[in-house]
Chains A and B, each alone.
Chain A
Amino acid sequence: MATAATMRRCEITGLSVDRSAERLIMLNAVTAVVYLTIGGVLALLIALTRWQAVHLLAPQRFYEFVSTHGMVMLIFWILFFEVAGLIFASTVLLSTRMVIPWLSWIAYLMMLGGSVIATVLMLSGQATVMFTSYPPLRAETPWYYAAVLVFAVGAILAVVHFFVNIVAARLRGDVGSLPLFTFALMGAAIIALWSLLSGALALFPVFLWALGVIPEVDPGIYRLLYWGLGHGAQQVNLAAMVGVWYGLASLTTGARPLNEGLSRIAIVLYVLFINMGAMHHLLVDPGLGTWVKNVNASYFMYAAVMGSLIHAFSIPASMELALRERGYRRGLFEWLRRAPWGEPGFAALVVSMILFGLLGGISGVIIGGPQVNMISHNTLLVPAHFHMTVVAGTTLAFMGIAYYLVPLIFQRQLLFRRLAQWQPYVYGLGMLIFGIGMGLAGHWGVPRRHWDITFSTAPVLGVNLQELRPEIAVFLAMMGIGGIIAVIGGAMFVAVAVATVFVGQRTARPAVGRIVPEAFSPYPAIAGGSGEPAAAAAHRTFEVPGTLVISVVFLILFIFLYGFSWFELSRVPWKIG
């Protein structure tokens, strides 16, 4: 292998690291954390505004900040981090070279330039159109749309480079089958490619329209194309998060996926079916027929849901297996009690899986049905759902893996380990309270993206929704208080990451906690695993009884909540349709 001075060998994992890949991973990751910090400050301010008793910001500021928070978090924080992940998975993890460093530089600079301009325009009130930018609401300046387009093209280039790296590694013979982590990110990258294209197709005409070149854009068609991006991007996050989950499981417990093929098929299910679910954002739009909605939003989506249910089983199952092999065999759950709860990566993994699955996933399936959607569309239940998926799920998983990749890539000693140990729990607790409050408020009919549900300044017909049902005030308070706790949890992460990167002691062998370094080695040399056909005997009984019990309990809860949502729909005091 061509290991020139451009490569270094990691003393902990044994992987060969391309220096230029390493530099770009650092840049993208640092940029991501900067956006996370900006988004977090805005999160606090808007959460304290929606907490009606505090009602912090003035209306215009609130709408500016909601627009910016959504864009900076959902698009910039997540995508910069994912690009870092894509580079990592396609070079470092394969011990292979980055093929065209300048392409990644161009991608990075375009993403940086586009995102900085868009952020500045949104913060300065020149693009208060929410990240969805629905026409014919128009940003003050057309350059906002241009900036987002430049960002999107940059992201497309980064994704293309990922494929180039993998194909080149393949041709050089550096890799046969991809590691599951890389495979999941490849699924994410495939979805990202067509999502970003769909988004560019939606936004480009809007840019021309804002410039005055074309007279109008069709709002219905924009929504269809836009959600090709908006929904697809969430599946990118999903696939990337699942990859990180598997990675964290292997790293912190030495887990090896129960059935490699099944886990990969579940990722392929995402790629094949998830984008067909894109129309669940349009379930109460004019223009789509009943059967398009039924088939698209339910049947195809459920094929993707099945993918998630498979991962939800496979990941705990592989951890159970690994911990049982280490000797924690007693009863159903000794392995769970003995799991490394004090290891930040494991804590992040578990909290992320629980909140994503129980709250995010189930709520998504429920409000994604065409009928129940009528009682949840654009209420606070929608942001409650996606804060459980992309925040409590994806963001927390990304934070978890950062606790290992930051020291290893930056070659610094991790600082504030205690803070890191507590961080996932604090963040998760905050998100739990926040999400439940927000979700209940939404179910009670409180709209999203709304400055004042007391309508105190409405010139005519004002009604105070909190007076209709006083419990709404409690839900909004939960949202505010949970938001504060979650922002503290987010700040703990930023503190650890920033301190480590800038003042952590330089070292070639950073201490990375109780991880299993063999997790990176291609041979099954992990704790107790000797490589020979080990578990053949176990197949006579269930191999992972604990996980089966947990999974079945989860499914029962799912069925119950699903049934309850229909009951709630039936209680709407008006007949519809």
Chain B
Amino acid sequence: MASRVSALAKPRGVWWEGLGRDERLWVWLTVIWGIAMFLMIAFVWPLIGEEQNRLHAYRVDPATFASQAEAFIQQYQIGQRDGVPVVAPPPGGDVYLDARAFAWQPVIQLKRGETYRFLISSRDVQHGFSLVMPPHSINVQVLPGYVTVLELTPEKTGEFPLICNEYCGLGHHLMIGRIIVTE
């Protein structure tokens, strides 16, 4: 067995040796644990979980996205809240969510138990979609020039604040929107 050397000193001679019993045991435990975590992420959760990371994305010209979002608001607007349009898209339909410094547009009213496809993008800088439902939150990144596509199914009624969690300028803390879920 080679003799052991301080970490601060130059090792002399041959220091390579096989693993002792203790090390072998620990290395096996770490390998097994690493594989277990990989299986959980790649295969187990995708089978059993209800919260999946299946984001899609496509590129878009920010101006095009802005006009699509405007058209969406025109079509489904049902009212106003604090001067912000409130829309009620059809169950199962697309929801355009338009981020800009420093607002989320529109306020969205959804039906519990229905699945909606959210199309989220920014007109200017990067923003962070953060739907807050303490003690949890759902967060995705929003970039100008890309649409983040995310399917969401609300299963609880109520009002959910939508905040921005990517720093987007000096008014970052003013940026807030709302998603309302009804029966």
Other-chain residue from A294, A452, A521, A574 in contact with B138 (beta carbon distance below 8 A): A574
Other-chain residue from A374, A468, A523, A572 in contact with B12 (beta carbon distance below 8 A): A523
Does B161 lie at the interface of the complex (its beta carbon under 8 Å from any beta carbon of A)?
yes
Other-chain residue from B49, B107, B133, B169 in contact with A570 (beta carbon distance below 8 A): B49
B141 touches A286 (CB 8 A): yes
Given known pairs A247-B7, A529-B4, the reply for A576 and B50 (CB within 8 Å) is: yes
Given known pairs A258-B23, A302-B38, A310-B30, the reply for A570 and B50 (CB within 8 Å) is: yes
The residue in chain A whose Cβ has the minimal distance to the Cβ of B128 is A378
The residue in chain A whose Cβ has the minimal distance to the Cβ of B81 is A461
Chain B binding surface SS class: mixed
B27 touches A249 (CB 8 A): no
Q: What residues on B are CB-neighbors of A299 within 8 Å?
A: 38, 42
Other-chain residue from B131, B135, B172 in contact with A449 (beta carbon distance below 8 A): B172
Does B76 lie at the interface of the complex (its beta carbon under 8 Å from any beta carbon of A)?
no
The residue in chain A whose Cβ has the minimal distance to the Cβ of B131 is A574
Interface size on A, residues (CB 8 A): 133
Other-chain residue from A60, A134, A379, A551 in contact with B126 (beta carbon distance below 8 A): A134
A257 touches B4 (CB 8 A): yes
The residue in chain A whose Cβ has the minimal distance to the Cβ of B143 is A219
Chain B 32-52 per-residue mask, 1 if CB under 8 angstroms from chain A, else 0: 011101101110010001111
B136 touches A573 (CB 8 A): yes
A555 touches B29 (CB 8 A): yes
Using a CB-CB cutoff of 8 Å, which residues 257-313 of chain A contact chain B? Answer: 257-262, 282-287, 290, 293-295, 297-299, 302-303, 305-306, 309-310, 313
Chain A 89-111 per-residue mask, 1 if CB under 8 angstroms from chain B, else 0: 00001100000000000000000
Give the shortest distance, in Å, between B117 (CB) and chain A (any CB): 11
Q: What residues on A are CB-neighbors of B143 within 8 Å?
A: 219-220, 223, 285-286
Chain A interface (Cβ within 8 Å of chain B)? 59-60, 63, 93-94, 128-130, 134, 136-137, 175-181, 218-220, 223, 243, 246-247, 249-251, 254-262, 282-287, 290, 293-295, 297-299, 302-303, 305-306, 309-310, 313-314, 317-318, 321, 365, 369-371, 373-379, 443-445, 447-453, 455, 457-463, 465, 468-469, 472, 516, 518-524, 526, 529, 531-536, 539, 542-544, 547-548, 551-552, 555, 558-559, 562, 566, 568-577
Chain B interface (Cβ within 8 Å of chain A)? 1-12, 15-17, 19-23, 25-27, 29-31, 33-35, 37-38, 40-42, 45, 49-58, 81-84, 103, 107, 115, 124-126, 128, 130-156, 161, 163-170, 172-178
